[in-house]
Amino acid sequence: MAGTARPVVLITGASSGIGEAVAERFAVDAERRWRLLLAGRDEARLGEVARRTGGVDLPGDLGDPAGVESLAARALEREGRVDVLVAAAGIGWAAPFTRTPPDVVERLVAVNLTGVVQLVRLVLPGMVERGVGRVVLISSMAGWAGVANEAVYAATKGGLLAFAESLRYELAGTRVGVTAVLPGAVDTPFFVHRGAPYHRERPRPVPARRLADLVWRSVVHGRDEVFAPRWLAGPARLRGGAPGFFRAMAKRFG
């Protein structure tokens, strides 16, 4: 993706879950031999992932504006460029909106949306200038359809979808692409951290390694939208074409 040089991928949330699995998947791409820049808050776990994958650990908090600025600066200082950004960092919260504390609202928006937008702002100009690159945003079906008791989380993920679509229009003709990844549930510690286990029968949680492979494929093949599992594209289209019917079915079957 950058001439004969080894391409550089910056992966956030790489200390666990989806980000960790994405780092492992890019690490075994023998053809492209990616240079991995790994960001995360858990310094010990991030260091372990970096050692296992041959990446460089760049610990920091993306919920803090200074942390975002620092991450971008360190990444560019280290490699001189970022060819691919995989924004996998994210947090959740499960509770009725009326019982969601204000500090939780602020943290969700900061980590899941504001921090991502600001990081893209810092690395995207270099991609455009070089005429090559891809931004991968890990959104959620919650951002497409909404989920009861996850209103703020869904709002942040919906914001990423609108951000991705808008960027695609702006970047037309630049050879810089934007991928939105829309998983249902993913088998990671996410649900433990949010304080409520996953309880729905469908969709069944997707293995993190499977989602990571879809992320890698979206970069290699230039895909703009990825559903996981793939059949979720059907309900997504139904919501767009028949929202009233979709809401009725969602209320009935969850």
Q: Which residue's structure tokens are 């709002």? A: 155
Q: What tokens appear for 251 in the block? A: 């209320």
- How do beta strands 56-59 and 84-87 pair? unpaired
Helix axes 151-170, 115-130, angle to 10 degrees: 20
Report whether 87 contacts 71 (CB < 8 A): no
CB atoms within 10 A of CB 108: 25
- Active-site choice (93, 153, 190, 216): 153
Phi, psi of 189 (to 5 degrees): -70, 5
Q: Is 169 a catalytic residue?
A: no
Distance between CA atoms of residues 12 and 39, nearest Å: 5
Q: Looking at the annotation, which residues are catalytic?
A: 153
